[in-house]
Structure 1
């Protein structure tokens, strides 16, 4: 695989040179300062490319070109936003970008209740606490339909949890849940979040899926024309939140999406952390099922704390957690071998060590939550070791 590293631009406290020292060969980045829905300016694309090159690496993957809420709801200036998305693809292709990741999660993107929860050995990790989230939904956000979405026991536990919360915890919980995309300036106050939820009134899961397919029917031909693979990131976590539908959580969801717009450029971002939070997802089997259409890989692990769905979970170390990472990497190595035999120019799949626990000097660096330097270095080293062993001519699968 092509080993890459997410970098949030000059504001990132982990530099491109740090990524190179950690063993990354390429960078995953985006122009987070450009308003969602706008075309990415040529000069800003060139500037980011130069910033990455100055650190000694290459800009391999764009993550993400945000998909606006207008596109997801098909309201307002959504057609203009689709056209701008298409034009941004053309401009990225012109500077050599071949892979673009995006997501189609409504309102909230990845959602956690804790951004720096204390794990074992004092490491800090991101965590989703189911009861905290319900307490937020019912008692802080005060969503009118929220109580009906939960069973009596869950409501009772959430009420007890809320009553025990300090004002500081209530504030941090609201901030954590309302956070926008990593690296972006987006984020929602409680009134803003309530207003955004109202825009999805009448949009159920089937309708949101149709909107996704409509979007892909417009942008995939352009991606194909300019030589870019686009790849949809799964829902994180992979279940409905705040009454909002989710459409990319399971193997069936991806099968529907890939069949609806059945073109090679339309593919998936295989994120083991997002998909792994749902116990019903068989990740090694999904690699085998969707291998030819996996255009980008996020490797991370989560530990489910409950035998139920939804569940509480936290970001574990890359080789721990509930996902069999060796089996996943074995499947990806086999897929790359198959592609190379076919002569596919994209036989090498870009991968990045996703997230990571804050350890050692990470604890005082203050980097983007989930994106520490040393925690990701440790993860990348472990993942590379597995891949190297599985690819060995004598001892591996080759």
Structure 2
């Protein structure tokens, strides 16, 4: 009798999962349609939660980019995506699309993406992209070395194929090897990925709770009830227009993010290692690429003493040397002189719409002549 009950229980559970899986599919398709419709107009996924939306967009692009137009892909973190840029036409990708009508430009930046996350995104779409424009944000060089977790968004990496290998962490004892899945975990996940309910769990959670996980939703609700929430800083508002309290929060957050836990070491830098892997990927696929640095608000940084420029120049000098040693251009926009005026920044590293458009035009003038000279863009 116990065996019969167990079999019936397993059967009922399987039927329940199958029913829920079928109910989940139209929800995911609704979300996919929304993401594709938005991204085809705006070059980037909706801003509400790009981590959830990006895999849906990439899956679509892999089948939709058919070679009719050459493709330029922008890769990097929030300063590429344009987290503080309201209109996507004002991102660098938007400026390039406006100026290069014979090209298809896609913005595959992702807020908070470390070099591992960006590598995952690039690897997943590299066959469809002809020219790669890759931003190295100095903050990500710090975070990539400081944080024990090797990757910021494991769910995204899992969906796109987890190209980051656990053995890559072996030379870096400060990294948590369990932040990447082992062979057994990957094998089990590959089977479960056939079930919509599992594969799209973050999409379903966001659809139902407006958060990536129910746990995150519970944490937010508890914070509200305890009165520990802090009013969000306006994302599209210039720094100079903010309250004193907002400026203090931004300054404190910037100092914390850009402080090294230990001195940068070329031999022990996981961030530098991942850029090396990125260069390997580009060379294996024979892709043309340009690297550049996100422009920082030099005036504010100097005024508030937010950054040690000697550290910046040493670290970025090493990154530049590595990139150029592989034959790729490296455009440095932080030479202790303002590139974009202070009043066009939202914080020390993120630009407003007007500032982002101005920088996009500067980047366009630097890169497009090189493409024309190489014959990649018609004169």
**Structure 2-normalised TM-score?**
0.35
> Which one has the bigger strand percentage?
1
| Larger RCO of the pair (alpha carbons < 8 Å, separation 6+) | 2
Is the radius of gyration larger for structure 1 or structure 2?
Answer: 2
**Structure 1-normalised TM-score?**
0.33
